[in-house]
Structure 1
């Protein structure tokens, strides 16, 4: 491990010599992540991308891609595009990336069950803004807006996320 790894601990994420308070999935952490279990998957993951709302904030990194009004994320294990970004109109089950709340104004993408997704193993394991301190996610790791933006400014493609 290096100081440039994001390391989940019981007290938050350790990154660059600092502890960053966060929330995780309502199902805790899991070695056997399944779609809909609310767990944050254990393991060593990598940062593979970043999405942002260009109508709400400036591009946070040169490699960040804008979230458009039709952007979705497939969460249907029976869909051939399971655990990938798709566009509306889209019939299989999906999650809207352009939300009315600020939770997905900035989304850091991990390589959990990607790029070759195994059906039912879990989708949309992101790093994003939390609703409020202590409020769990559906499996993602979430930070305050301020801390999320500070972390996003320091990470790169390939930064490791370690969930023990």
Structure 2
């Protein structure tokens, strides 16, 4: 087991522990899994680096100096057969993908983990993000969901040294 530090985000049965706070969170509909597969809805067990932050500049202020704006046409490839599997791509893009600039606020602020990235193993699952939840208790497709206020608070305080630990 990885030893957590104060700058780490640690999933516990009570929520996400970070910087001395316990933040309510939701996990994937498939629960915590050791053998993550594309589409299983599982949140992968392990220690994951935080490798990026994306935000909607038309909806919120830049949360930190290293956050990157989500532009119209930004997508995330979730097609295991494509060479850009589990990478950000641009429209137009025919293979299966997820739109990052959504009509709803789910991806207004996204923290990107290194799950199956940057050299993805096909079929092992894509895009384990930390983003806002739909509603308290409503599971994600495998990501970590937080209340919008808690997500914004956390985004201003994490660093490149922070890790997501899912025991």
Query: Structure 1 length normalisation: TM-score?
Result: 0.99
| Paired residue secondary structure (1:148) | helix
Task: Tell me what 2:160 maps to.
Answer: 157
Cα distance in 1 for partners of 2:164, 2:90 equals 27
After the TM superposition, which segments of 4 or more aligned residues of structure 1 sit over 6 Å from their partners? none
Report the equivalent of 1:42.
Answer: 45
Quick one: which of 10, 26, 31 aligns to 2:29?
A: 26
Aligned partner of 1:137 in structure 2 is 140
Give aligned pairs, total: 164
User: CA separation in 1, counterparts of 2:41 and 2:161?
Assistant: 25
Structure 1 equivalent of residue 72 of structure 2: 69
TM-score, length of structure 2 as denominator length? 0.97
Give yes or no for contact 1:48–1:158 (8 Å, CA) kept in 2. Answer: no
Q: Identify unmatched segments of 5+ residues in structure 1.
A: none
1:148 matched to 2:151? The reply is: yes
- 1 CA distance for matches of 2:29 and 2:56? 26
Q: Please tell me the root mean square deviation across aligned C-alpha atoms, in Å.
A: 0.5
Q: How far did residue 157 of structure 1 move?
A: 1.7
Distance 1:62 1:154 in 2: 11
